[in-house]
Structure 1
């Protein structure tokens, strides 16, 4: 009798934790990824004004090209370097990419005119290691805790954006545009050392190396949905922040040197609030539901932003909602890519994913500027809302959500 009663007792639920090695690898790789995003974001708040101090800096087309060249060349190299990381290993590809990043930053710091800055930004973008970093996170973590590790990497994007808004005016004010590029280069060199010496080695797949084909990824409908999703997410981010700084300055009376006072608490609060969502998603294996809810939340936020753009408090509240959804999706989507992509072309799949992200950055910034130039900032929010609604419809068809 006692035995039958004992047999009904369920074992206690074990709380999933990152191991010490997983935690160290996740933190170090998040720092690497943050440096890449700083290379993209750090110029955005100040470059259009700071470029006026150099020859050719009054040419708006060249200024835009200098800003967008990084994301555009990133897009061209993500897939080849993702494949290279599958074949030759994550560490050598990342170290080589960081070396290109540093070299491009030094070229920009020494540039005598806008054309040399464009060349330096192109060189920086050629070190397209985002796919290799994300694949290394997947290699270094168990599936049960992978979303949490991806949250560190994904969350670093929001943190990098906030840091760029704080640091850019300070660095340019103290050291000029050249000093800003030297700071970017120094950060890249530190991260090169981290990649070379501090990130723990992750076990490679024991399966034989297979030469993956682009068609393997392009025939995978769930991967296509995730690629479209990350394109939309970064399109919306860049398009929004073509117009959001001006709105906050108008409503709250902030000049460019004080906008960080709004951005920093918004980013930090949204990051804290997204953590419970990530833990719930992991423990309940509710990835598909979390994906749909987060995208639907973006649709609602973007639909209300034209109204909120007339009220400072409402604008800040919706920005918090935006970044909660943004941070959840930054953690969730790459984790889903690593779950559904077969091991033999995981790096290639993440290469396509990061290519779509880079194209979203370039397209969002470009089209956002065109729409804002039409004279009505509501156009930007409404276009983003429509695009995100299309994303929501495609996300509902996602099959491998567990």
Structure 2
């Protein structure tokens, strides 16, 4: 098999783990577009508690994401994923059979306790070679996007048929299906990727949190998911007030999502080819702020609201696709696992805070007030992001090398640093690993391979 292609084991690993990720995210997202309406029969219902219930999974995800990743380094990826899926199934059952919003909130929090994202990504890295790892990670990213789109369409269609209880039961079935996929389809790990690529290393965390470039991106994913969660506290009710019944909401979400992908793809392609990543990134934040202001001004017009949702999802999809890539580019060599762990924590913490912000601001300011409040947060994000570096084609390569001792490591590092395009070299004797951070536009990969092979 060519090094440019995935092996059969790599394909099976990437596809099966993408399916596990997608099943879980589908269950989480499916509740978003309908809960504010179908939860009105629950004891204790209020806009504030709707926000808590929708965002509760984010808090437990944020608290447990890094610990679960570290635990997977110690006891293995598969046991952590198995336990996480069991917790997700249990939370779904608790939420399904609760007659109060407090019980549903507890169930959602337990679902979030199944924080398997870091373990799934680490296992994906373990099952793939360095040169194919980006493809496998991209497959998982695509599966999350597809799950999100399907969930926004499926929720409004399935809720009238099965009710809120039925949706939570479906999330449990999805988690149990994920366990079956883990057992029967995911290959058994043979080679483990270097820890710096997959897991959070505690001693690196504080240093990475202080990194101003990474901090801008962490704040970005926090703001992005805060806005997403907050919007779905109020948007379903806003659409219903326009005479658009909940079972028809998919008719707005589906074309808006398809249209947003069509509009977003040229931004990604041109940004990469023309080295305009930063320009489009800032444009997308401004577009999101504009769409939120327009939502407040278009609250009485369904066609205008559709255009606003289309623009919002165009910006959201671009930013959601760009942020992980930027984290990977800007992470110091050998720290990607730790950087992604911090990033994921901010992401889920944003989802939790979005529920609180959405519910509280709706109670105090109404739906238009929510949209304007979120637009102000987007402008704050725009200001914070203004000093971000304009990313070139930076990439990190990871290689196994026979590093004999500290002197040999120093000699190897010196040789590699002489190569054109090398930005940083990190050698770790204990892991027999070399991390290369390079400008991929001018870096000669084969020269580095020859040095490592002949060392």
State the TM bucket, normalised to the shorter chain: 0.7 to 0.9
Aligned to 2:91: 104
Give the SS at the match of 2:378.
Answer: helix
Return the alpha-carbon distance in structure 2 between the equivalents of residues 371 and 108 of structure 1.
Answer: 25
Q: Which moved more, 1:18-27 or 1:348-357?
A: 18-27
Matched, 1:188 2:175: yes
Aligned to 2:257: 267
Q: From 389, 393, 402, give the equivalent of 2:379.
A: 389
Q: From 315, 334, 338, give the equivalent of 1:348.
A: 338
In 2, are the aligned partners of 1:152 and 1:331 still within 8 Å (CA)? no
| Equivalent pairs, count | 384
Aligned to 1:44: 32
Deviation at residue 185 of structure 1 after TM alignment: 0.8
Aligned residue runs from structure 1 range 218-229, under 5 A: 218-229=209-220
Aligned to 1:33: 21
Aligned to 1:10: none
In 2, are the aligned partners of 1:82 and 1:131 still within 8 Å (CA)? yes
Q: Deviations over 1:274-295 (max 9, x none)?
A: 2333344445554434422322
Normalising to structure 2: TM-score of the pair?
Answer: 0.72
Aligned residue runs from structure 1 range 2-401, under 5 A: 19=6, 26-51=14-39, 56=43, 58=45, 64-86=51-73, 90-111=77-98, 114-135=101-122, 140=128, 146=134, 153-154=140-141, 156-157=143-144, 159-199=146-186, 204-206=192-194, 211-213=201-203, 214-251=205-242, 253-284=243-274, 286-342=276-332, 344-399=334-389, 401=391
Q: Which moved more, 1:175-184 or 1:85-94?
A: 85-94
Answer 1 or 2: higher relative contact order, Cα 8 Å, separation at least 6: 1
Greater helix percent: which structure? 1
Query: Structure 1 residues 323 and 84 mapped into 2: Cα distance closer, same or farther (>3 Å)?
Result: same
Give the SS at the match of 1:377.
Answer: helix
Return the alpha-carbon distance in structure 2 between the equivalents of residues 325 and 390 of structure 1.
Answer: 16
Aligned to 1:6: none
Q: Deviations over 1:144-189 (max 9, x none)?
A: 994x766654555554444334333444433344322221111112
Return the alpha-carbon distance in structure 1 between the equivalents of residues 184 and 275 of structure 2.
Answer: 34
Query: Structure 1 residues 232 and 152 mapped into 2: Cα distance closer, same or farther (>3 Å)?
Result: farther
Unaligned runs of 5+ in 1: 1-16
Query: Structure 1 residues 58 and 386 mapped into 2: Cα distance closer, same or farther (>3 Å)?
Result: closer
In 2, are the aligned partners of 1:71 and 1:361 still within 8 Å (CA)? yes
Return the alpha-carbon distance in structure 2 between the equivalents of residues 343 and 199 of structure 1.
Answer: 29
In 2, are the aligned partners of 1:83 and 1:347 still within 8 Å (CA)? no
Aligned to 1:7: none
Return the alpha-carbon distance in structure 2 between the equivalents of residues 20 and 221 of structure 1.
Answer: 38
Greater strand percent: which structure? 2
Return the alpha-carbon distance in structure 2 between the equivalents of residues 63 and 300 of structure 1.
Answer: 26
Return the alpha-carbon distance in structure 2 between the equivalents of residues 26 and 393 of structure 1.
Answer: 37
Deviation at residue 254 of structure 1 after TM alignment: 0.9
Give the SS at the match of 1:339.
Answer: helix
Deviation at residue 78 of structure 1 after TM alignment: 1.2
- Structure with the greater alpha carbon radius of gyration: 2
Deviation at residue 239 of structure 1 after TM alignment: 2.0
Give the SS at the match of 1:365.
Answer: helix
